[in-house]
Every structure is written in structure tokens, then in C-alpha cells.
Chain A
Amino acid sequence: MTATEARPESEAPEREIGKDRRRKEDQRLITGRTRWTDNIQLPGMLHLAMVRSPFAHARITAIDTSEAKQSPNVVDVVTGQDLAETQGVLINAWPITPDQKTPTHLPVAIDRVAFAGEVVAVVVARSAAEARDAAELVDVDYEELPAALDLKDAAADTVLAHPDLGSNKSAYWVFDSAEAGTGSNVEDAITQARDGGIVLEREYRQQRLIPAFMEPRSTVVDPTGEQLTVWSATQIPHILRFALAATTGIPESKLRVIAPDVGGGFGGKLQTTPEEWITVALARRTGKPVKYTETRSESLMAAHHGRDQWQKLTLSADREGNVTGLKVELLADLGAYVSLVGGGVPVLGAFMFNAIYKFPAYHFAVQTVLTNKTWTDAYRGAGRPEATFAIERIMDELAAEVGVDPLEIREHNWIKHEEFPFTTVAGLEYDSGNYEAATARAKELFGYDELRAEQRRRRESGDPVQLGLGVSTFTEMCGLAPSRVLGQLDYGAGGWEHASVRMLATGKVEVVTGVSAHGQGHETAFSQIVADRLGVPFEDVEVLHGDTQVSAKGLDTYGSRSLVVGGEALVKATDKVVEKAKAVAAHLLEASADDLDFSGGRFSVRGTDQGLAIQEIAGAVFAAHNLPDGMEPSLDSDATYDPVNFNYPHGTHLCAMEVDTETGELTMRKYVCVDDIGNVINPLIVSGQVHGGLVQGIAQALWEEAVYDDSGTLVSGSFVDYLLPTAADTISFEVDHTTTPSLTNTLGTKGVGEAGTIASTPAVVNAVVDAVRHLGITDIRMPCTPERVWRAIQDAGSGQEPTTGAAAPHFDASTGMEGTVDRTAGDAQ
């Protein structure tokens, strides 16, 4: 089951890789010694407040800033018109088709707003409170326009989100296995199955979600030095620098972007934002340091949202349940603008609907659609949770149709462990995996057979609380990404990563990485990797990141790429340091390099007791008194690594849900997951990534949804209404691993950042549906609230008799809180 490669024992006395090191980051974070962007105070710093449109779609007819300008300590009030020449424009890095319709996205709208929350004016004042006060005094006249809100209506162009574009349809992107030569024709498969086989046609809804990182976004811009310094709560300092330079006319070399401590992202800070562009523009305009920090309501309303798709699936199979074809038709809501990744999010899902199953034929099509709602982009998993949800839901439906256990139908169709490497119908080569092993371990931990027996007992006894078991055998592609593949998909950049390793004179090591952590624990995990490879103490490694003047090259953190791409760059840079040091060691030890062994941080001459530690060599290179002829006095090394393939973590997640059929109340009883993420650098960090990912995925299944009213106002615009789960809503999880090392990187690792989120949503919904399937229910839309569950039971006609009349126990003031009043007659006041 486990196939972890053994390393020779002599290599390091105590291996760091695999150890559950406590995190280096934590000492600061648990004592409040933090550097969040909003903590930054600079001399003479000014503060911004945004005036935002209350309308989803409107023409701006007039803006009167005169009263706001008179407000105490207000320095300036500007409109889009005032900034027209300097504000730049927000980019879409991934036009998924050459003819994609992409509305111009200005930081401050000039004559028309396209979603409620769009910025129309900006106040600059000496304090944040004074800026906010004055923002209330800006008088904007709007002429309201009809708003395109509902995704399906918008796709039919009933109302235009951007009238000048002539259509809401932004791009239509297709992958077809017959055309690509990776499989056969899906229509043929479906036609064939209609005659005696099984054809399942289902439509699933991916509701709109809000990433809801805990640290609100904040940007500080200091224009007082030679370079313009931008601090921002972002996942992507390097991409931000590039995009600012590309659109504002500021030379890239005059821009320094710093992502200091960043409080979570989950894709939500994988964005180039209007607020960043506005802060840059006003720092340049005023010549003073400027700060903007959003409120939580602004964050929920105007920071990008995630998911929001309709998914139409047609699955064909023979009577035994062997899948023969899968056709996927998506509608994806872009919101008002095509964001940084934009339509690329559903495209990232295109290769994952076939999942771990051997479909011979596959067709995927997505229509991206513009609406007058908040723009959407990546949210943890980005495209892959949507794909995994749909396929794992419909595989359960296939199991029900065939009349077998959901695990049996999966086993019937999945790639066997001896079939790796396996080229899928979507054209990807899965390098390694063992679905049988992960599933066997998960079943054992879960007590699958016992729980199935309990489920049967409850069914038979007519227990009002029914038990459901949900399965999700997910895989995902992560480690974004081979640049060649990104180029083929028309993404605007590459997917490489950069690292530098610097040997300091005192023997300490500085590691510079181009990835940019915001909670992932890179400082700890990367220290472990470098400590092992250089043989230096874990404590002696300092990991630097998130400042473009320190980390000059990088493509930042998203898509579970930091370890599998950034870590590999680090391995390559570290190995170069060792190579350089070896030449010095051979010179100083007067030995042939071929006779040297490197182990535990020491070069030793084979067969002798002579040797030198790498720290001693670092000191000798610093002094540079006695180096090999022609050698530069430096051990420092860089590496830029472009991945050769994605990697494919997988796992089996099992969830037990109890459903009260009288009230619709849901209780999670047990959740077990066994993930194969290859070799693990730090099991403690991995477990944290899994737990947190699980809860985000579970929250999509049960609680979260961004809801708009009929006029396009976000009604779930605060944490009162947008239901983030609390400690009291969640349970403790059982997490375990099986291991098949990835073959696409030296460390044998696979990504883990998104795995929990991708896997858990269908496991939970499958469990909920499984609990009530015997009542004739085959789907419940997410989030599966008690109300939706209750209604599904009622609509299926199998619920309890509705409570009527005086049987309803209403304590009522009119009876001194003692009696009950029959309200059904409508006469109780």
C-alpha cells in the first residue's frame, strides 16, 4: 500500500523532511508581533474611502463632490473622470478564446457602473474616519438601467450587462475527445446507450460563494522614495507588479511590491484589484503615502466571488454500469467584468470532470456569461471543485440506477493502480496513484460496513432521523503549471517558479522563493527541505518571500503550486550550492571531487577522516583567500523551474450525515478522509491544510451562498448574513494518508492546499441525498439548508403529515403565554 522511497540512512543523521516541525511563523503570530498591511503607518499618511454604487447597473449622470471637499481634513475627492488619464486599467490574463468579449474594467467607473459596489468616487483625508464621513457627502446622480442578474436569463441576452457589447456571452470554450484524438465521440456513446443502456441527464447548481479570507484587503502606497512602494494584502505580489507596470505606465523597475503578513486568500487575493490601482493613483496624485483598508461589507460586496455555474451533465453507461461517455455543458457567471483568471476558472475544471474514471468519450463546453453582479474568479480549487462535485454526484446517481453501492460503481470504473501512468480522455497523463489503497483505508477508518448496516436498520424501523453515507473519490490537477500547457490554453503568462539559496559568511542560509505564503507555512516546510539537502540546522535557514526587491522573480501562490513547483525550484538551487561547495571542498582538502561524499552537511574524503562542513566552506568562500583557479567567490545559486507535468493528488472521502426527516435538520456524524498527496514534508502542516479545506468544502455543501435580491443588491453582504461556519457548526475529522510518490518532481510531493475543499462538497451532498433517497429524492440544491431538505421531503410526498391547526404549539400573548391559538384560520391577531 505504501511505497515511500527509502533514502540511504547515511545521507542525513536526522531527516527534516517528514517531521512534524512546529511552525517558525507562529512565534510572531501568537504574540501579536505581526505586519499586516493595515498595521503600516507612515509619516503624513493619507487615508482613502470609496464611494460605491448602490445600483447593479446605472449610468452616472452627475457627481457633486463639493460638500465632501469641505469636510474636515479632507485633502481631495476624485471621480473616475479626474483619474481618467492616470488610473490605468484592470487586466484579464486569460482570454480563453480569441473572440472573447471583455468589457473595459476601469478602477473608478467613469460614466456607467456594472455592479453594486463598483467604485465611483474616492475621498482622500487625513484619517480613515474622516474619509468615511466625507464619502457620505458625495452626491452621485444615477440613471438606473435594467440589470442582467440571473445567469440563465443573462445567457439568453434578455437584458444586457454591457449594452455596447451586444451580448452577455463572453466566450464559448470546447474540449472534445474525438476532435482532440484523446477519445471517441460522445454523441455516439450517448445514442448507443439510449438503446438499452443507461443515460443520466442531470443539472447541478454551483452556488455563488465568497472567499471570505479573515484579513480584509488593504493597500498602502508610498511614493516618496525612488521606487514606488506598494504593500498589499495579496497572494500575488509579482503578478501585481507586472500588471501595474503594464497598465499605468510606471516602469516595472520603479515599482516595488510587498506582500507582508497576509491573512488568508483562498484565491480571493489572487486578483489585481480596483482598490490597488486607485491607491497607487492617489499616492502619485498627492505625493504622500496613502492607505486604503476595506470594511468587511466592502470585502463581501466588491472583492471577487467564486463558483456560480449551472452544470448540465449527460452520462452514458451500459446496464452493468460501465461508463461509456460524459458530456458536460456549463454556464459560468463571470459577474460584471472578466477578472484576472476569469473564464480560465471553468477551463481549469475542463480536464477534471472525467476524474479517476475511464471514460472512452468526453465532451466539455463552457459558455462564460457577463452579468451585473460582483466579478468572479478563483476560489479554493478554482474549477476543480465544480468538476469533482458534478462527477461525484452523478456517479452516485449511476450507482443508484444500477442498484449497487456507490463505492462499487466507482471501483468498477476507476483507473487501477497497475494502469499508471494513465493518459485520460481529457489528455492528461496521471503519473501515479492508488485509488484502491486509499479507499480500503478510508472504509476501514470509517467503519463503512457497520454504518451501512445501521442505515438499513434505521430505514427498516422508520426512524425519523435517517442516516446517509456520502462518498467522494476525488482527484485534481495541481501544481500550476507547465508553461507550455498554459501557452496552449492562451494564458498570458508561464507557470515556472524561482528560488535562490544564499550561503552567508557565518554559515546561515537565506532562501528566497518566488511563491508568496499567506498561512501555508512555507517558512517552515521550505526550511525543512533546505536543511535536509544542505545538512544545516533547520533553525539556520531563513526563508524570504513576498517582496519584489528581495524576491525578484516569481509567480506567487495559488493552485497548490508552492511546494510542487516552488519547492522543486528550491531543490534545484540548493543542489547547485552543493555542487559549487564540492569544488571548493575538493580544493581545500586537496582531494579529487570524485572522492568526496556529501552527507549531513559535511564533505568527507572517502576512506579518510578528513572533511569540511558546508558552513566552513561558506566561510572560506567569503574570505576568498584560497579558491580553485577561476572560481567566482560565491556559493549562491538560483534556479528557475518549469514543471514538466501537473501532479494528481487523490483521495477517498467518506461522510456520514444524519437527517431529521421531520425538520430537515442536518447533523454531521463522521468524516473520514484518506488522501494520497505523495511524500509529505511536514505532516502537521498537511493536516491543517486538509482540515481547513474540508470545512470550506463542507460549508459550500451546507451553509454558504452569496444571495442577490431582484435589484442586484447583495443581501448576504455581512457576516451576519453570509454564513461562515463556526467551531460550533463543525466536527473533528479523521485524516489519514496513503502514499504513491509523484514522479514529476524530485521530492515526490503532490499539492494539498485545495484537496480538502475539492473532495468534501460532493461527499457531504451525497450523504444528505443518500439519507433521503428512499423517499424518492435524487438531488438537493446547495447549500443543503434544513429548509431545502425539509421541502425536498415534502415535495417528494413522503414526509410526515404536515402539522395543522391547533396542534401547532404557539405560546401566545393573548392567552397569557399559556394557551395556544389556532392561526390557520387566520383570525388570531
Chain B
Amino acid sequence: MVRINLTVDGAKVADDVEPRMLLVHYLREKLGKTGTVVGCDTSNCGACTVHLDGTSVKSCNVLAVQADGGEVTTIEGLAKDGQLHPVQEAFRECHGLQCGYCTPGMIMQSVDLLKENPHPSEDEIRLGLEGNLCRCTGYHNIVKAVQHAAGQGEAVQA
């Protein structure tokens, strides 16, 4: 067992974990952060995407011990003070989700994408989300949601 200390969605947490424990299992099983989900076992689907120290990672591809000392934001920590993050709002507005299983990862990746590139073209959005699979939406409305969120970003800045 290894002792880890980290911040998850703004709260400091400390646990003894098996060295082999994946970050996604730590979040789900130890912290009850079940908003983050597992969709595959080969790091293809991106359903488990969270932010680690401000960058999106597939939490099935990170060991919990690697997050020691780090700061993790999950889908559950994205809304602040009861206010949805603009990307969350955009996914709802544009019907960018159906079953909702890929949605946490899709939103976390989209937030990261827009941070890197606040005004992406459609192609840039599609490439930026390539690591996240969705089986329901055909991506059409997910792309629209990211475009919508990017537009909102402009409005806020203006």
C-alpha cells in the first residue's frame, strides 16, 4: 500500500492505495466519484477523462499513485457554485448527449480542447475529440456543442 495525498474537485483527500490501482478506480471506488466512468480497457474510449493539474488525462491510463500531490478535477467538480460550466450548458443546449455515458469524458476533453484553442474550426474540434468515443450522437451535436461553447466564450470576453 502506498500513501497518496491529492486534491479532488477542490477537496483534499488522503488514502492508502495499491500501487497498481488506476486513478479511475481510485476516484470511483475510494472517493465515490462515480460521475467518472470506465468504458473500455485499452484507453480508446475516453469516457474516464478528467483533468490532472489542468490537463485532460484518461484516468484509466494514470495510476492513482501518479496523481499523488496533484490536483484532479472530475465532471462532478466542473460546475461552480451551482452554475454549470459553459461547456456543460452547451452540451445540454445542443443535445450533445443521449445515454450520457461518454458525456463526462466528452465534456472534460472539450473543456481542455477549448482551453488550448478557444476558437477551433470544425475540423479542429473533430480532431481534438478523436480520443473520445460516443455511440449515440454520431458526434454531430457534440461538435455543435463545442462550437456553441466557443461562441459563448467570445461573448463573455466581449
A positions within 8 Å CB-CB of B: 22-23, 25-34, 36, 38-39, 41, 129, 212-216, 261-264, 266, 295-297, 518-521, 684-685, 687-688, 691-696, 718-720, 724-728, 730, 732-733, 756
- Cα A156 to Cα B99 in complex, Å, equals 42
Is B136 touching A296 in the complex (CB atoms < 8 A)? no
Q: List 22 A-B contacts (CB under 8 A).
A: A22-B95, A30-B91, A30-B92, A30-B100, A31-B75, A32-B75, A33-B35, A36-B37, A38-B34, A214-B99, A263-B37, A521-B98, A684-B95, A688-B95, A688-B141, A691-B139, A694-B138, A696-B135, A724-B133, A726-B131, A727-B130, A733-B138
Chain A residue at minimum C-beta to C-beta distance from B137: A692
- CB-defined contacts of A32 to chain B, threshold 8 Å: 33-36, 74-76, 104
- The A-contacting residues of B in range 27-47, CB under 8 angstroms, are 28, 32-42, 44-45, 47
Known: A39-B34, A296-B41. A214 touches B139 (CB 8 A): no
Known: A297-B41, A719-B44, A720-B42. A29 touches B138 (CB 8 A): no
Is A262 touching B91 in the complex (CB atoms < 8 A)? no
B35 interface neighbour in A34, A687, A688, Cβ under 8 Å: A34
Q: Which of B36, B100, B103 has the most A CB atoms < 10 Å from its CB?
A: B100
Does chain A have a CB within 8 A of B56?
A: no
Is B132 touching A727 in the complex (CB atoms < 8 A)? yes
Does chain A have a CB within 8 A of B88?
A: yes
Of the listed stretches B62-70, B120-128, B150-158, name the one at the interface; the rest are far from the partner chain. Answer: B120-128
Does chain A have a CB within 8 A of B8?
A: no
- Cα A726 to Cα B131 in complex, Å, equals 7
Is A214 touching B102 in the complex (CB atoms < 8 A)? yes
- Cα A264 to Cα B47 in complex, Å, equals 13
Known: A295-B41, A688-B95, A691-B140. A34 touches B130 (CB 8 A): no
- CB-defined contacts of B144 to chain A, threshold 8 Å: 732
Is A730 touching B92 in the complex (CB atoms < 8 A)? no
- Cα A448 to Cα B126 in complex, Å, equals 27
Is A727 touching B44 in the complex (CB atoms < 8 A)? no
- Cα A733 to Cα B143 in complex, Å, equals 12
- CB-defined contacts of B92 to chain A, threshold 8 Å: 22-23, 26-27, 30
Q: Report the minimum CB–CB distance from B122 to chain A (whole Å).
A: 7
Is A730 touching B91 in the complex (CB atoms < 8 A)? no
Is B101 touching A718 in the complex (CB atoms < 8 A)? no
Q: Report the minimum CB–CB distance from A247 to chain B (whole Å).
A: 29
Is B135 touching A212 in the complex (CB atoms < 8 A)? yes
- CB-defined contacts of B52 to chain A, threshold 8 Å: none
Q: Report the minimum CB–CB distance from A162 to chain B (whole Å).
A: 31
B positions within 8 Å CB-CB of A: 18, 20-21, 25, 28, 32-42, 44-45, 47, 74-76, 78-79, 84, 88, 91-93, 95, 97-104, 107, 122, 125-127, 129-144
Q: Which of A32, A215, A727, A732 has the most B CB atoms < 10 Å from its CB?
A: A727
Q: Report the minimum CB–CB distance from A211 to chain B (whole Å).
A: 8
Chain B residue at minimum C-beta to C-beta distance from A520: B98
B135 interface neighbour in A25, A129, A724, A733, Cβ under 8 Å: A724
Number of A-B contacts (CB under 8 A): 178
- Cα A530 to Cα B142 in complex, Å, equals 29
A692 interface neighbour in B36, B93, B98, B100, Cβ under 8 Å: B98
- Cα A788 to Cα B94 in complex, Å, equals 37
Q: Which of B20, B103, B127, B131 has the most A CB atoms < 10 Å from its CB?
A: B103
Q: Report the minimum CB–CB distance from A237 to chain B (whole Å).
A: 16
Is B88 touching A30 in the complex (CB atoms < 8 A)? yes
- Cα A5 to Cα B97 in complex, Å, equals 31
- Cα A29 to Cα B99 in complex, Å, equals 8
Is A730 touching B126 in the complex (CB atoms < 8 A)? yes
- Cα A220 to Cα B63 in complex, Å, equals 27
- Cα A23 to Cα B91 in complex, Å, equals 11
A730 interface neighbour in B34, B40, B88, B138, Cβ under 8 Å: B138
Is A213 touching B41 in the complex (CB atoms < 8 A)? no
| Nearest 3 Cβ contacts at the A-B interface | A32-B35, A519-B99, A263-B101
B42 interface neighbour in A25, A30, A296, A693, Cβ under 8 Å: A296
- Cα A819 to Cα B74 in complex, Å, equals 50
Is B130 touching A214 in the complex (CB atoms < 8 A)? no
- CB-defined contacts of B125 to chain A, threshold 8 Å: 727
- CB-defined contacts of B99 to chain A, threshold 8 Å: 213-215, 261-264, 518-519
Chain B residue at minimum C-beta to C-beta distance from A689: B98
Is B134 touching A214 in the complex (CB atoms < 8 A)? yes
Is B101 touching A691 in the complex (CB atoms < 8 A)? no
- CB-defined contacts of A691 to chain B, threshold 8 Å: 137-141
- Cα A129 to Cα B133 in complex, Å, equals 25
Chain A residue at minimum C-beta to C-beta distance from B35: A32
- Cα A26 to Cα B130 in complex, Å, equals 23
- CB-defined contacts of A34 to chain B, threshold 8 Å: 34-35, 37, 100
- Cα A31 to Cα B18 in complex, Å, equals 29
Known: A31-B76, A36-B37. A213 touches B135 (CB 8 A): yes
Is A688 touching B133 in the complex (CB atoms < 8 A)? no
